[in-house]
Every structure is written in structure tokens, then in C-alpha cells.
Amino acid sequence: MFWNLPYFTVVILTFIAILTILTKKNLVKVLLGINILESAVNLLIISIGYREGGVAPIFTLAPSTNMVLPTPQALVLTSIVIGVATSALLLSFTMVIYRKYGSVDVEKMRELRE
């Protein structure tokens, strides 16, 4: 039963993230939803690359040849770096929008635009 826990967590995090992205009107909360979705995807990739009883994929004198896959770990590490950069960029866009419109509420920005 516990071997399904990471996948169950991915489903819950994805549901929370999509619900947050679609229902919230505050841009900062939408960005938090995007970050939660990114974390869910990273957890899914790491969970797929896991092997029961595997050792770390580094140079070691371990007698077992059953190692955890290193490629998903490298992809997730790259994804984390890219996610930090895009989050910083989106937050800077949010700051520019706040300075221009005086609010981060999507509905108020639509009203001001018309």
C-alpha cells in the first residue's frame, strides 16, 4: 500500500494546483499554484526513476548493481533551477502589473482595461 504513496501525493498536489490556478483571481496565488504543479511533476519524475533497494548512482563500492536511475534526478535538478528562474520572472511581471494597475486582482485589471 505504501508504495503508491508518492503517486497518490502527486495526484493530490496536481489537483490542488489546478484548482488554485483556475479559481484564484490573485496573481500571486496563481503563481503559487504553478509552483505546486511544478513540485508535483518533479515528484512524479523522481518516483518513476526509483528502484526498490537501489543505491545512489555515484561511484561506490556497493556490491549491488541495482542502482536508482540517475537521469530523472538530473532532469529534476535542472527543472528546479529553471523553475526558480521562471518564478522570479513571473513575480517581477506581477510587480510591474501591480505598479501599473494598483492591484494584482485579475478582475480589476480587466475592468481597468475596458
Q: Average pLDDT by consecutive 10-residue portion of the chain (114 residues)?
A: 80 96 93 96 89 71 70 91 96 92 83 66
DSSP letter at 2 equals G
User: pTM for this structure?
Assistant: 0.83
For residue 77, the model assigns a pLDDT of: 93
DSSP 28-49: HHHHHHHHHHHHHHHHHHHHHT
Residue matched to cell numbers 490573485: 26
For residue 100, the model assigns a pLDDT of: 86
Taking each helix axis as running N to C, give the angle between helix 70-101 and helix 27-48, from 0 to 180 degrees, rounded to the nearest 10: 180
Question: Cα 14–15–18 angle (5° rounding)?
Answer: 80
For residue 113, the model assigns a pLDDT of: 64
Q: Amino acid identity of 50?
A: Y
For residue 3, the model assigns a pLDDT of: 63
Alpha-helical regions (H) of 27-105 = 27-48, 70-101
**What domains does the chain contain, in order, with CATH numbers?**
2-51+67-113 (1.10.287.3510)
